[in-house]
Amino acid sequence: MQKITVIGAGNVGATVANVIAHKNLAKEVVLVDIKEGTAEGKALDIWQSAPINHFNTRVTGVTNDYLATKGSGVIVITSGIPRKPGMSRDDLIKTNASIVKEVTEKATKYSPDAIIIIVSNPLDVMTYAAYLAANKPSNKVFGMAGTLDTGRYRAFIANALNVDPVDVHALLMGGHGDTMVPLPRYTSVNGIPVTELLGKEELDKIVERTKKGGGELVNLMGTSAWYAPGAAAAQIVEAIVDDQNRVLPVCAMLNGEYGLKNVYLGVPCKIGKNGIEEIIKIALNKEEQALLNTSAQAVRELMKSLDNMKLFE
């Protein structure tokens, strides 16, 4: 791929750019930020590691110069502010949706055919905001969350069993947060069902820890995570660039799948050169479907809040 743009040069955005460069996924990565010098400095730092880490992807940093992003095949949006003390949910949605709207419109002006991956939070509703701003098919605008949540889930299981995390295969569905739907039934270690290796009580603890995975890191560091989110976003980029047709859980617009319509929700998807090539439909039992429906309702309420703000009229 000729060019990939990462918008937002904070910890997550810089990590995405770094992983993309290390994997040589494009000839150039453009890192964009609103703060003068931030993107330029981080891009320069990444590029100076090229001779050491043996990659040849040029890394460029710019301040609000969207012309520099022209012709990007993929745009990763990480922009937004964290929720501050005393800030309501709606205030956070309005602030970050306004940011996502602005950067999406600016970036798609110069790269109308780009696939857009959202990392900004609240993830599910920010993906919807980008979809409204981008004016393109929903298979080309989707969110990263499920890939990150599944990574955390697999890491916790690998720790519990003392096995290679690559051997842990798992799937999470639903919203990014407390309503996510882990599926132990679809979790295995090199084909061995995880339910044969871990008891229900231990699995339940892992599920709960996964749901609170982001909060655990905030409590430890005083800020949000960046290594795993950045790696998860870059994994999706790689699946697109190399047309891998990988099955990854991403935040996708549902149009009847799982009995749900007009809602962005984490589901397994085949990811390739066109973005979401296919939404994978798996059999859910009554309990799993009920949890997914609850998750969808929670996301719908956020989407409705965004609609009521009338930012996209």
**Which residues are designated catalytic?**
176
Residues 81, 34: Cα–Cα separation, whole Å: 12
8 Å CB contact between 34 and 64: yes
Distances (CA, A) of 292 to 64, 171, 195, 265, 297: 39, 13, 21, 9, 9
Nearest by Cα to 291 from 214, 182, 218: 182
Distances (CA, A) of 26 to 4, 6, 176, 270: 7, 12, 29, 21
3-state helix, strand, coil in the chain (%, to 5): 50, 20, 30
Give just the sign of the alpha carbon dihedral 230, 116, 23, 110: negative
Residues 216, 195: Cα–Cα separation, whole Å: 25
Instruction: List, edge to edge, every strand of the sheet that includes 192-193.
Output: 168-169, 188-189, 192-193
Residue entry with tokens 């891009």: 43
